[in-house]
Structure 1
Amino acid sequence: MKQQNYHNHRKFYPPHHFIYLPLLILLEVFGIYKIWDDPVNKLTWILFSIVIFLFFYLAFMTRQHYALGLQNRMVILEFKQRYFEIFSLRSDEIVEKLKFDQIAALRFTYDDEFKELLYKALHENISGDEIKKSIKNWRADQLRI
């Protein structure tokens, strides 16, 4: 597996991203085409297109909602645990001051950079993307959803 860094840290689920969703998109395009190509069955093709769109929307939103919600909770808990291990202090007050994208970006740092970039996030309000770009020694997260 390639070493993870800023440019390749996003993850795809091939059956979902490269088979199921493209198939739904093709069916949707086909249905819309048939609306104009088959005027006799126009209502049927409109209903077909609506149903395919709803399948697409449901698949996309359900997957995103559950997976990202759970992942976000885990990332925050991981941050709290790591903060406690490094500073031996509770992190509730710190978590309230940070945005989620900052917390998520800090998980890609090792402990020495974690302290420095956490300070910048708190005092200079740098974004999660800026934190990721500032990381010198990337700590890969291979277990993300």
Structure 2
Amino acid sequence: MRQQNYTNHVRYYAPHHFVFYPLSLFMLCISIYEYWHSGGAKTMWLIVAAGTGMLIFLSLMLRQHYALMLQDRLVRMELRWRYHVLTGKRLETLENQLRFKQLAALRFASDTELPALADRAVAEKLSPDQIKKSIREWQPDDMRV
């Protein structure tokens, strides 16, 4: 595999980028054109254009939604791993008592603070904002979208 750099870092998924979207945009353009130039079928072409536009919009939104769901899963897995390395215990016992936003807030805690802060978050039912305000040694998460 080639070493990644600025000129080759972009990745394309050919069926998605070079088939689905071009065909969808083509269909949208055709339906808009036909709407303006067809005689009595304006309603049908308007429905086709609106449906194609919705399809394009939904595919863009689902793509973003799937990425965010995966990112949330990775945050959870990283926190489980860190907690286990630091304490030798599984986080799942505490995790069932916390919402994801609380877990996501805990990821900013340093290794020295994480175990105690996780226990405190459960015991005191701290909100995500309270968890973040309790952190003394902030660990940034520069990779989150």
Q: TM tier, shorter chain? A: 0.5 to 0.7
Query: Which residue does 1:55 correspond to in 2?
Result: 56
CA distance 1:53–1:141, shift in 2 (3 Å):
same
Shift of 1:86: 2.0
SS at match of 1:111: coil
Query: Which residue does 2:70 correspond to in 1?
Result: 70
Relative contact order (C-alpha < 8 Å, sep 6+): which is higher? 1
Would you tell me which structure has more helix in proportion to its own residues? 1
Q: CA RMSD in A?
A: 3.1
Matched AA of 2:122: L
Shift of 1:113: 3.6
Q: How many residues align?
A: 113
Shift of 1:136: 4.3
CA distance, structure 2, for counterparts of residue 75 and residue 104 of structure 1: 7
Q: Which 5+ residue runs of structure 2 have no aligned equivalent?
A: 1-24
User: In the TM superposition, what whole-angstrom CA distance separates every residue of 1:57-83 from its partner, at most 9, and x where no partner exists?
Assistant: 22102321x212221221111111111
Matched AA of 2:144: R
Mapped pair 1:142 → 2:129? no
CA distance, structure 1, for counterparts of residue 122 and residue 71 of structure 2: 23
Q: Which 5+ residue runs of structure 1 have no aligned equivalent?
A: 1-23
Larger Rg: 2
Q: TM-score, normalised by structure 1?
A: 0.61
CA distance, structure 2, for counterparts of residue 40 and residue 68 of structure 1: 41
CA distance, structure 2, for counterparts of residue 70 and residue 54 of structure 1: 22
Q: Percent identity?
A: 35
Shift of 1:56: 0.5
Q: TM-score, normalised by structure 2?
A: 0.61
User: In the TM superposition, what whole-angstrom CA distance separates every residue of 1:5-44 from its partner, at most 9, and x where no partner exists?
Assistant: xxxxxxxxxxxxxxxxxxx9xx9xxx7xx89xxx972431
User: In the TM superposition, what whole-angstrom CA distance separates every residue of 1:96-125 from its partner, at most 9, and x where no partner exists?
Assistant: 222211111111121344244323310121
Alignment map for 1:77-92 (pairs within 5 Å): 77-92=77-92
